[in-house]
Chain A
């Protein structure tokens, strides 16, 4: 059977030749490096294929498909982590292999072609990392890749065009993902496979050229004009006894052990964060958000590019083209010419020096870059914010499922995320609110707005003139009618009046229907009913100035639905409307002045989110 197969395919003969080919210089641990590269590539091909069976490139589906794999598929997180960490070891192994070739002198004849192929493998590996990073379509992968691809625009004349070709249009989106996926799993992976095959062929040939007769063409045989003798197909026992080691098993067992070692390292890294919880494997991050207002400020390239990232910082403006394109280009050319330089001792020494210098330079620069970030509070803050965002989106996705418009919709419709963001960007210049401090407090503190304690403070003669209410910086209301009314009417209350005021506060606060007060509002229904009457017709005189359920004057803001989402959305939309402050509005901008959302400062949806955030109305996972 085997005989028949060999007759038709020659497979056994080929294996024999491979297995029994003697190795020049014998077997050794350094010689496991190319096999290690091959192994990691195989790991990547295998894990990558299975990842691919779950992956869906697209702005609304890339992150979502990875999330699904990571959280719903048995072992999916491990698959992804293994692919990630194996991908990180690939440049290390290819780099080590290159360094080994330079330092052992085996980049020179007869190994020139092997050396060149290794250089191309290094380039291919970097390309695989660069394209693979984007595919998760998380905030970091999007922002970091965005900058790296934008480097193309530094090339004069052709830059903008190259950028568009790479990205698939004027900006990142669906087509960037389809392109990067095709490059990653097609062109670059295929290229890497081809390079590995060529590497094997060229290495065999280089070994063969170096081996003394009768195994090869004689040491250092350039083979000019002379016909190569037939390679020895098998070694006789006596030849093996003469100390010539062969691939099988002398090198093969070393290779296999190294493979196991690498696998152990990959698994250890993948299991570093445990097997449970959202941190297991590698973090996914939050989905890529193309809104420039949500730009991820802590975007950094992967560690392998960190040295280059730091180096580029030393070249201002357009000079960035030098560290990014000119110097790497020149270095690549020098490396390609190394076998030629290395023909004499001085050249070989130069090659050694250059390689050693490059390795240490990259190490030092990477270290500097990480040090810089570690000391940058803005960077840590951005990292933390991104962590929170990632945790929140996963919480929402788990509880609600991902809508067809993608996971980003979950965050856009989440008051805790979107409302807080809008508040930070548009309100926190003047207002403090629920843990977000005002930059320069020139408006009332909105923490707990419309809750019973907040209203009790507002209607307290001791507090209404404080900075938290109407006593803020440059307030025109400090000496206004409301303050005067509270100071005058509510200063010396007897016990009955105090009780009435309490009921009034309960009733006004109940207008907001705050989620945190749902229980006490239900419990105090009777008092609230009494309080409503006090507001509408009581001796406190609310309706002298305020409208309340169809009664009262329109001087101050309407009290019907006070603090409800609708009320807050309306007052932030236009505080100077008749329903609220009218012409007496202080500096509060109208965020939705017109009916056309594109002409307003904010979308109605964002105002609603902010209102709900202020009200503490957002999804909380059940413990």
Chain B
């Protein structure tokens, strides 16, 4: 009864060839992919509250100031002891009330600019022309931005110090999801 043996051996041979060959080729691809996907593990640096300005430095008429967030920044193997890691718009909304907005556009991460104008300016994202009012609310609906500008937590400490919790948020989503 040779035929069944032959076909069994033939099957075994094919199975071994495919499995062994496949495994041998797959292994380096898997190692490589694990390394390649490493960025998924990296998190943005979480800032916590930081002192940004004194209250009396902010214009009383509510004009926003664009302040750079200075911090240590790490770019893979390079560490910058002090560098611009982001920026915020800070403005007074009352005698001792302050609002802070992330400058990064919630649409695709461009930097929003403040456009001064007589009688009150507005915010504009130059990439895809999303407009926001001074509170960061979208105007000219429908807007390119999926949500309003991201407000940051602000605390007034020791009466005169403006502390802001600097965070970044996921772009391209209607929901405000913190990424740091």
The interface of chain A, by Cβ under 8 A from chain B, is: 59-60, 143, 146-147, 150-151, 153-154, 156, 159-161, 164-165, 167-171, 173-175, 290-293, 295, 297-299, 312-313, 316-318, 320, 378, 382, 425-426, 429, 439-440, 587, 589-590, 593, 597-599, 601, 603
The answer on a CB contact under 8 Å between A147 and B172 is no
- Report the minimum CB–CB distance from B102 to chain A (whole Å): 10
- Report the minimum CB–CB distance from B114 to chain A (whole Å): 10
- Report the minimum CB–CB distance from B131 to chain A (whole Å): 12
Selected contact of B103 from candidates A165, A292, A320, CB within 8 Å:
A292
Residues of B with C-beta under 8 A to A317: 107, 142-146, 174
Residues of B with C-beta under 8 A to A601: 52-53, 57, 65, 67
User: Do A378 and B126 form a contact, CB below 8 Å, given A165-B40, A601-B67?
Assistant: yes
Known: A147-B110, A317-B143. 13 other contacts (CB 8 A): A59-B78, A150-B108, A160-B170, A171-B75, A173-B78, A174-B78, A175-B39, A293-B68, A299-B127, A313-B129, A318-B146, A429-B59, A598-B50
Q: Which residues of chain B from 129 to 159 have a CB within 8 Å of any chain A CB? A: 129, 141-146
| Closest A residue to B128 using CB positions | A313
Residues of B with C-beta under 8 A to A425: 66
CA distance A298 to B113 in the complex (A): 13
CA distance A131 to B71 in the complex (A): 30
CA distance A169 to B37 in the complex (A): 10
Residues of B with C-beta under 8 A to A171: 44, 75
User: Do A316 and B144 form a contact, CB below 8 Å, given A151-B108, A297-B113?
Assistant: yes
The answer on a CB contact under 8 Å between A147 and B78 is no
Selected contact of A603 from candidates B40, B70, B78, CB within 8 Å:
B70
CA distance A173 to B113 in the complex (A): 23
| Closest B residue to A175 using CB positions | B76
The answer on a CB contact under 8 Å between B57 and A589 is yes
- Report the minimum CB–CB distance from A188 to chain B (whole Å): 15
Query: B82: CB under 8 A from chain A?
Result: yes
Residues of A with C-beta under 8 A to B116: 429, 439-440
The answer on a CB contact under 8 Å between A590 and B54 is yes
Selected contact of B63 from candidates A316, A426, A429, CB within 8 Å:
A429
The answer on a CB contact under 8 Å between B87 and A170 is no
Query: B95: CB under 8 A from chain A?
Result: no
CA distance A171 to B44 in the complex (A): 8
- Report the minimum CB–CB distance from B24 to chain A (whole Å): 21
The answer on a CB contact under 8 Å between B108 and A292 is no
The answer on a CB contact under 8 Å between B70 and A597 is yes
CA distance A291 to B103 in the complex (A): 11
Selected contact of B179 from candidates A160, A312, A313, CB within 8 Å:
A160
Q: Which residues of chain B from 57 to 111 have a CB within 8 Å of any chain A CB? A: 57, 59, 63, 65-68, 70-71, 75-78, 82-84, 86-87, 103-104, 107-111
